[in-house]
Chains A and B, each alone.
Chain A
Amino acid sequence: MNIHFGSIRYQYIGLLFFVIFLFLIGFFIKNDYYLNVFVLIGIQAIAVLGLSLLMGYAGQVSLGHAAFYGLGAYASGILTIHYGLNPYLAMFCGMAISALMALIVGLPALRLKGHYLAMATLGFGIIINICFKEMASLTGGPSGLVGIPMLKFLNFTFDTSISYFCLVWSIFIILMVLSLHLVNSPFGRAFRALGSHEAAAQAMGVNTHIAKLIVFIISAVYASLAGSLYAHFVTFISPASFGFICSIKMVTMVAIGGMGTLWGALLGTSILVSLPEFLTVFSDYDVLVYGLILIIVMIFMPEGIVQASIKIFRNFKYKETNG
């Protein structure tokens, strides 16, 4: 599962190319609509990056990650609208609340394995979503929360698509660098060991329960940050954006891109967020095609698109040198 292509140096070269690619997008795309799609990809990618650490590296499934995404968004929304808190402070509060929630839920839940962990996280996600719907005095109920302020830095407001594009993707790059180092750190090796074989990791002296819990909390904080960024970007949130389907989409993004590669998380997110834009030709039936794509990718490339392409590329090279 955990095939690593190249050392951290190669990852940095990859990252450099990616940054250049981002600059080109920011420079050449003048259409706000397309830029907004890229902003949404960036926001979602932050959350999926965290989930990829949890699922792809530590091997733990979470079908309730939208809860943390929602907690971040609602913390930002509620604290800024009802309590007039500074948006950045609200963002940190959201991350703290998510971390605490992840600790409370993770402590008992992460003792479970496989299907059982999937169900526990699923149940947690749905309960949180129902709370968003029913605590109407705070959250605005099913109709949502309107008028979340935009982010400001000194006198500069992030109110254009291009400024938010820069903000979101800078945060993404920072988190990507952090995550790459985390994965290659001693702790990262510990939770990767846990992901490939839990008993073996325990035998090597890894405290697997604590390792799982820490990765779970990290992934919750990433999701919460993404949620806050989302709330300040669209300035309107409603429970429907953070439901079961959202959790499922996040898991799918990790799996389609490929487990065990952070680039896979980015690729999966880019594909699944932009897919509906391409599917508008199918208008109402886009969900149908979406389901079909999900099935086909998982059947024919269960290891994800990134690993599958590497395999195809290697086979091709092998044939070329021997053919």
Chain B
Amino acid sequence: MGGGLLALINLRREKIALMGQILQFLFSGLTNGAVYAVIALGFTIIYNATDVINFAQGEFVMLGAMVMYTFVHFLSWPIPVAFFATIICVSVIGILVEFFTIRPAKNADIISLIIITIGVSIFLRGVAMMIWGKDPVAIPPFTGSTPIVFMGAAIDPQIIWVLVITLIAMIFTQWFFKYTIWGKAMRACAVNKKAAKLVGIKVERLVSLSFALSAGISAAAGAVIAPITFASYDMGTMLGLKGFCAAVLGGLGSGVGSILGGFILGILEAFGAGYISSSYKDAFAFLILLIVLFLKPQGLLGQGEVDKL
């Protein structure tokens, strides 16, 4: 009888440990997923306004982290001030990027535009390496680093910050597109640029704004994730590509889709890394990308314009 009870207790302990493990994976998936979602949203905003796939999106994330590091570490600004200053700085960089590279190449075809944004990405990475060097730097967490224990899972408080801030960024963009005149104009622009011009929308200004918005939210994601992952000049490439996978998974051009895509990607990746193989973690995202593209290329919530001529 005693043995039976012991076995029962052991089983219960195992169950709790398993729960903890699942929660741990879930939280790590949600954290990465939230970041992917915001980057995917950034992709989508620019794609809708200009039809450009911006390969420099990851570099905005990197700049967010590095500028934040500069403000906090060298200027010792308080974190909230540094955070908002970072967003503004990177938004301005976004506007400059658009003005100097995308705008002059108005009539370029898809391949040329892809190469231009890749050029921008290489350039920004080069500048970052010049300013901040090659070594990764640490950014202090926003509020302490004592992990919160929740149902057998230890959670870094920064994770809460990541979730909260990315959620705010998502709600802000959705609000912006639904309820402001600028957002509505941008949606009109995405549907039909010529028609938008005809009703008096200044498309060029909107394109600038879309780059600012996209760079701004990506920078916010970079600044908030940096205390967990460290910041370095080359952190943007993988994050950008993952965000890109998320945008495709959700359906290129769909805002809600890209958020959904980001979270699904993050969670699948975390469980794949935890239960199948951690060394192939990065491959999962791209495997999912391929599967989605081959089976349902318009993504989960996309409009289905794949066969557009």
Contacts and interface: CB of A to CB of B under 8 A. Distances in A.
A248 B123 CA distance: 14
Contacts of A55: 111
B120 to A, nearest CB: 6
A112 B293 contact: yes
Interface string A113-126: 11110111011101
Contacts of B108: 298-299, 302
B203 interface: no
Contacts of A120: 289-290, 293-294
Does more than half of chain A's interface fall in helix, strand or loop, or is it mixed? helix
A287 B111 contact: no
Given A119-B289, A124-B290, A127-B287, A291 B121 contact: yes
Contact of A299 (B101, B126, B283): B101
Contacts of A299: 101, 104-105, 108, 116
Interface in B279-298: 279-280, 282-283, 286-287, 289-290, 293-294, 297
Contacts of A113: 306-308
Contacts of A320: none
Given A61-B110, A288-B127, A295 B290 contact: no
A203 interface: no
Given A113-B306, A119-B248, A284-B129, A295 B120 contact: yes
B114 A118 contact: yes
Interface string B246-290: 001000100000000000000000000000000110110011011
Given A123-B245, A198-B309, A61 B114 contact: yes
B118 A252 contact: yes
A298 B122 CA distance: 14
A177 to B, nearest CB: 27
Interface in A185-201: 198-199
Interface residues of B, number: 46
Interface in B106-154: 107-112, 114-116, 118-127, 129-130
A84 interface: no
Contacts of A147: none
Given A116-B306, A291-B122, A251 B130 contact: no
A284 B130 contact: yes
A85 B266 CA distance: 43
B60 interface: no
Contacts of B283: 126-127, 130-131, 134
B237 A285 contact: no
B110 A302 contact: no
A292 interface: yes
A284 B101 CA distance: 24
Contacts of B127: 288
B300 interface: no
B41 interface: no
Contacts of A259: 111
B244 to A, nearest CB: 7
A1 B120 CA distance: 25
| Chain B interface SS verdict (over half) | helix
Contacts of A12: none
B51 to A, nearest CB: 9
A287 B125 CA distance: 8
Interface in A176-226: 198-199
B110 A116 contact: no
B169 interface: no
A287 B129 contact: yes
A291 B130 CA distance: 14
Interface residues of A, number: 44
Contact of A295 (B101, B241, B282, B289): B101
A238 to B, nearest CB: 16
Given A108-B294, A119-B293, A285-B130, A298 B245 contact: no
A298 B116 contact: yes
A294 B293 contact: no
B53 interface: yes
Contact of A115 (B123, B252, B287): B252
A127 B119 contact: no
Nearest to A252: B115
A281 B88 CA distance: 35
B53 A118 contact: yes
A273 interface: no
A92 interface: no
A287 to B, nearest CB: 4
A294 B113 CA distance: 11
A292 B119 CA distance: 6
A112 B309 contact: no
A288 B123 contact: yes
Given A298-B116, A299-B116, A127 B286 contact: yes
B290 A298 contact: no
A255 interface: yes
A109 interface: yes
6 contacts: A124-B290, A127-B290, A285-B126, A287-B129, A291-B122, A298-B116
Give 6 nearest A-B pairs by CB, closest first.
A288-B126, A291-B123, A294-B119, A291-B122, A295-B119, A123-B286
Given A63-B114, A127-B290, A299-B101, 20 more contacts: A61-B111, A108-B294, A112-B297, A114-B308, A118-B114, A119-B289, A119-B293, A122-B241, A127-B283, A127-B286, A244-B237, A251-B111, A251-B114, A284-B130, A287-B129, A288-B122, A289-B126, A291-B123, A298-B116, A299-B104
